């Protein structure tokens, strides 16, 4: 009896025990809350970067905003590579094949390291020309190029961090990655404070003291984030590979290059990579539409995207838990509750992001105000945030449902829907509305596209996913 009480809801699900609706909801939140906290810590890190750089003026903010869509693409490609292995780990854990899961961990880390190094080399090679390709003005291209170069060189550490976090989460360990990502946020604050600004005198409570600073500006922001990634990578790999857990290394087990595991990894990862390329390619096209509107619009667009992250980060946390739950459900052959849990996690995501969307509408001026003292940027950023608030419920549907499909290994769905909505709805509509309505028109197009995307995800969740889950074909 004592042993049963110590089991988590996820373990009880794997063991074939019945879970009430209340227990299923508790399981979702048990996994989601640490993931949400981790996502929020990442968001805070973005806020810190944006706020510190925002204090240096419009051009510094615009320089980072110009290449932000390209940095997302690199993050997304690394994440796609990791997804090809993390989903397999969730299924192996669900099937109680821990030895197989450990081999996938080793195989995944080797492949992701090689892939991210290649990605870093490509990023470094194009860093000089990229800001020009994106339509940046001559006053910001040099800073933007330096920022992207430093970011590109940090990609191997970023890739290993993303892989380690995903692998620990898919094994059911949500708390540890969350704690370490919060630590990374704190380190980012410290490194940025030292690297961005010059040596200065700060007065607190009537006491003045000198704070050392390197005065590197935009380069300092990139270096601060990169150093935070490097330092965080060490404990992440330690807890994944060395500290005793179901996925840690065993002396008696050696890496086996299993063609089946590689084929499944590619089957899962390639559609995710295409999805990220399509999405980030659309963001780059989106940036090209924004760039001619000037530095104020470009900075307001960048800050509004950062501010909006506070609203949708909970959705990504719940989506991460959905991937773990569905992956382990399918591995444990629990077709009896797979469909229900997919629907339940999505509904919870919609509810949570409806609340955060309402808060974003109310507090939009304050959210932008934290990032920049510039009055023009704050006014425009607040207006576009309030437009976007109406899309948040359906944005949640697309985020969490995508996590559900990823857990099932069905990654093609997200890629197809993102292509359709991004390139057929968002980009053409933004190009039509931009000349007349400026940045407000561009964000109206984004709001409409996210609503369309969410509706399509809900339709496929009720048809494609439901039928496969009921038949046990996943």
Q: Is the pLDDT of residue 4 over 70?
A: no
Q: How far apart are CA 75 and CA 312, in angstroms?
A: 17
449-462 pLDDT tens trace: 999 999 999 999 99
Q: How far apart are CA 416 and CA 291, in angstroms?
A: 27
87-110 pLDDT tens trace: 899 999 999 999 999 999 999 999
pTM listed for this prediction: 0.79
Q: Are 200 and 52 in contact (CB under 8 A)?
A: no
165-211 pLDDT tens trace: 999 988 888 889 888 988 888 898 889 889 988 888 877 767 877 87
Q: Is the pLDDT of residue 6 over 90?
A: no
384 CB neighbour count, 10 Å cutoff: 27
239-292 pLDDT tens trace: 999 998 899 999 899 999 888 889 999 998 888 888 888 877 787 788 789 888
Q: Is the pLDDT of residue 5 over 80?
A: no
- The number of residues making up the chain comes to 474
Query: What integer pLDDT is reported at residue 310 of this predicted model?
Result: 80
Query: What integer pLDDT is reported at residue 63 of this predicted model?
Result: 83
- Cα 125 to Cα 71, 118, 192: the distances in Å are 14, 11, 25
391-414 pLDDT tens trace: 999 999 999 999 999 998 888 888
């Amino acid at each position: 009896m004592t042993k049963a009480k110590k089991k988590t809801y996820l373990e009880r699900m794997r063991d074939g025990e019945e879970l009430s609706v209340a227990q299923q909801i508790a399981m979702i939140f048990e996994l989601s809350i640490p993931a949400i906290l981790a996502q929020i810590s990442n968001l805070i890190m973005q806020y810190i970067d944006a706020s510190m750089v925002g204090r240096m003026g419009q051009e510094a903010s615009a320089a980072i905003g110009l290449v932000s869509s390209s940095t997302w693409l690199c993050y997304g490609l690394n994440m796609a590579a990791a997804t090809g292995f993390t989903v397999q780990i969730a299924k192996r854990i669900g099937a109680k094949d821990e030895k197989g899961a450990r081999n996938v961990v080793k195989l995944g880390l080797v492949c992701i390291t090689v892939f991210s190094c290649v990605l870093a080399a490509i990023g470094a090679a194009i860093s000089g020309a990229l800001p020009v390709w994106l339509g940046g003005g001559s006053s910001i291209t040099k800073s933007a190029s330096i920022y992207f170069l430093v970011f590109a060189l940090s990609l191997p550490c970023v890739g290993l961090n993303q892989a380690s976090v995903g692998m620990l989460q898919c094994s059911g360990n949500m708390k540890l990655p969350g704690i370490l990502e919060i630590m990374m946020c704190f380190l980012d604050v410290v490194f940025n404070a030292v690297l961005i600004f010059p040596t200065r005198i700060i007065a607190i409570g009537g006491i003045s003291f000198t704070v050392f600073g390197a005065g590197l500006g935009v380069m300092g922001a990139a270096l601060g984030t990169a150093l935070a990634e490097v330092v965080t990578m060490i404990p992440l790999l330690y807890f994944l590979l060395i500290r005793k857990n179901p996925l840690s290394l065993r002396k008696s087990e050696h890496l086996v290059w299993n063609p089946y595991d590689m084929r499944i990894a590619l089957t899962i990862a390639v559609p995710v990579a295409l999805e990220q390329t399509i999405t980030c390619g659309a963001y780059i096209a989106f940036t090209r539409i924004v760039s001619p509107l000037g530095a104020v619009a470009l900075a307001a667009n960048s800050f509004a995207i950062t501010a909006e992250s506070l609203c949708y980060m909970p959705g990504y946390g719940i989506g991460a838990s959905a991937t773990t739950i569905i992956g382990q459900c399918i591995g444990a052959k629990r077709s009896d509750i797979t469909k229900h849990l997919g629907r339940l996690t999505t509904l919870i995501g919609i509810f949570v992001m409806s609340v955060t969307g309402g808060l974003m509408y109310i507090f939009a001026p304050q959210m932008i105000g934290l990032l920049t003292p510039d009055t023009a940027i704050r006014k425009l950023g607040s207006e576009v945030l309030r437009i976007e608030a109406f899309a948040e419920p359906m944005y949640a549907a697309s985020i969490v449902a995508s996590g559900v499909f990823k857990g099932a290994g069905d990654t093609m769905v997200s890629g197809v829907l993102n292509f359709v909505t991004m390139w057929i709805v968002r980009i053409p509509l933004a190009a039509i509305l931009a000349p007349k309505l400026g940045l407000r028109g561009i964000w109206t197009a984004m709001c409409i596209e996210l609503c369309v995307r969410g509706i399509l995800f809900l339709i496929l969740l009720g048809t494609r996913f439901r039928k496969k889950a009921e038949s046990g074909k996943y």
